Amino acid sequence: MARHLITSAIPYINGIKHLGNLVGSQLPADLYARYLRARGHEVLFLCATDEHGTPAELAAAKAGKPVAEYCTEMHAVQAEIAKGFALSFDHFGRSSSPQNHALTQAFAARLAEQGLIREVVEQQMYSVADGRFLPDRYIEGTCPNCGFDSARGDQCDNCTKQLDPVDLINPRSTVSGSTDLELRETKHLYLRQSQMKQRLSDWIESKDDWPVLTTSIAKKWLNDGDGLQDRGITRDLKWGVPAQFDGAPWEGMEGKVFYVWFDAPIEYIACAQEWAEGTGADWERWWRTDKGADDVTYTQFMGKDNVPFHTLGFPVTILGSNQPWKLVDYIKSFNYLNYDGGQFSTSRGRGVFMDQALELLPADYWRWWLLSHAPESADAEFTWENFQQSANKDLADVLGNLVSRVTKFCRSKFGEAVPEGGTWGAAEEALIAELESRLHAYEGYMEAMEVRKASIELRSLWVAGNEYLQAAAPWTVVKTDPEQAAAVIRLALNLIRIYAVVSKPFIPGAAASMMTGMKTGDWSWPTDLRAALTALPVGHAFEVPEVLFRKITDDERAEWQERFAGTRA
């Protein structure tokens, strides 16, 4: 039994995430956490909302609410949706927690002690009317390059040229529309990442078992151009962790907060503190290598856009502190999921969002499709045809129907209890051999976080049951040799329990239904398959479960396709 710390990239607070966000971090992290728990390992699985920054402030203003209140509400919404998808977080925290405030300030102070913070005075755009400094992308104006009149301060959406806000002609605030903008001096703290370049580089180079997606992105940032750059870790904002605090080793940072990319990863640790406070558990044995965390395996899940912060920024914080914090052991990253020939788009309402998905179908449908099509080697694409075909074929026909045909046949011929009689022969031995081989492959892929391949093996396990049943043909055998038919069905009923156990990480809802139908709470992993196939003894009562997965009709598919197409630009 090992100890595994698992974190999913923390979703931003402003709004509900789409299926692409889900499959890029939370869902595969949940799959892994559930699998490791099922194998008897000790798991701490953490996620949280990322709440600070300008977008949250503006979203709150738009909703007409104080930002703290807005975040509290949205956190509850996201937590509820996560529950709907059966995401098994041990704690779903908040980056705005007191724990994270304290820890973020402590890290900043410590990094300063280690000589890794420097102060920089720079010029930033200030909007007099809004009474605030504005991030580059919240300033619009006419592009000096192509004349496009809605170019953003960081980049022109029309000609894609990278811009500086001061380059814009007739710049205005996108918050208020005001043109009363001026450059003002402001002081910020910079994290001296460049000092850590060699240590990071050595560390990344040593990780030859990481996904190439992870290491290639990390190496690019380390070596591109002038190499790893220092980054500002403060902003002129109100909503966030104050950069000026008691014991701060700098002055004059009043009215400024730490930038989200600095405090958000620290929430991984603070989240464990939140969890400990709520449960009385010990968080240090997960995060402090001097307090027992040296035997923890720490795995992070994220979309590729988050890789730089997890391979460079956060490790600078951890390593730079020169304190015994647990450093990540494995970073599993994902490409993007596209939607029907384009990208998911929040602003255009294009694609399916997490709350909408749950209104259409139970979580298992989405979990299965998303995980079995996870964008591991390249970007993947969601289409309704593919979703309908996969769900109907894999879940309804192959698995659901198997459960149905076995339990209903037994009920009609032997009653709703595991029947007696008959013996195993060559067919059963062949099945056991097949199952053992498939199960070992499945376990290997799950341990390696090869999500798609694991799903293929799981499906193969289901198919093996149908093959066996088809060949054994108990509906024929029962006419001449009822006892032998009973032996076949006895095995098949036990197979249902085994499927429930091994399928649970992917489809926890259906797994629970199968287990309930078999009237047992025996979730033990079928390490010994032969024994597992007799776990439900002769005479054990069961009941025919409700249809596990109804099919998605062509009409539904067409309707949904239309409904989620969004407003094309």
Partner RNA sequence: GGCGAGGUAGCUCAGCUGGUUAGAGCACACGACUCAUAAUCGUGGGGUCGGGGGUUCAAGUCCCCCCCUCGCCA
| Interaction site with RNA (CB under 7 A) | 160, 162, 212-213, 216-217, 220, 224-225, 304-305, 335-336, 343, 373, 376-381, 386, 389, 393, 396-398, 400-401, 403-406, 408-409, 412, 452-453, 456, 463, 466-467, 469-471, 473, 475-476, 547-551
CB of residue 387 to RNA, shortest distance in Å = 11
CB of residue 162 to RNA, shortest distance in Å = 5
Question: Is the Cβ of residue 61 or residue 212 nearer to RNA in the bound state?
Answer: 212
Measure the CA–CA gap between 392 and 509, rounded to whole angstroms: 16
Question: Is the Cβ of residue 396 or residue 446 nearer to RNA in the bound state?
Answer: 396
- Integer-rounded Cα Rg, in Å, for the chain is 27
CB of residue 13 to RNA, shortest distance in Å = 21
CB of residue 410 to RNA, shortest distance in Å = 8
Question: Is the Cβ of residue 17 or residue 132 nearer to RNA in the bound state?
Answer: 17
- The CA–CA distances, whole Å, from 385 to 72, 243, 557, 565 equal 38, 51, 7, 14
Contacts of residue 160, defined as CB under 8 A and 6 or more positions apart, other chains included, come to: none
Contact 422, 486 (CB under 8 A): yes
Question: Is the Cβ of residue 291 or residue 550 nearer to RNA in the bound state?
Answer: 550
Question: Is the Cβ of residue 172 or residue 235 nearer to RNA in the bound state?
Answer: 235
Contact 352, 18 (CB under 8 A): yes
Contact 318, 196 (CB under 8 A): no
Which ranges of 448-506 would DSSP assign to H, the alpha helix? Answer: 451-472, 474-480, 482-503
Contact 132, 236 (CB under 8 A): yes
Measure the CA–CA gap between 161 and 432, rounded to whole angstroms: 62
Question: Is the Cβ of residue 97 or residue 455 nearer to RNA in the bound state?
Answer: 455
Map residue 382 onto helix, strand or coil. Answer: strand
CB of residue 286 to RNA, shortest distance in Å = 32
Place of tokens 């990253």: 333
Contact 498, 468 (CB under 8 A): no
CB of residue 473 to RNA, shortest distance in Å = 6
Question: Is the Cβ of residue 195 or residue 401 nearer to RNA in the bound state?
Answer: 401
Measure the CA–CA gap between 561 and 39, rounded to whole angstroms: 39
CB of residue 193 to RNA, shortest distance in Å = 15
Question: Is the Cβ of residue 39 or residue 137 nearer to RNA in the bound state?
Answer: 137
CB of residue 448 to RNA, shortest distance in Å = 11
CB of residue 39 to RNA, shortest distance in Å = 24
Measure the CA–CA gap between 476 and 482, rounded to whole angstroms: 9
Q: In this structure, what DSSP letter does residue 331 have?
A: E
Measure the CA–CA gap between 29 and 11, rounded to whole angstroms: 13
Measure the CA–CA gap between 552 and 151, rounded to whole angstroms: 44
Measure the CA–CA gap between 459 and 465, rounded to whole angstroms: 10
Contact 191, 231 (CB under 8 A): yes
Question: Is the Cβ of residue 83 or residue 551 nearer to RNA in the bound state?
Answer: 551
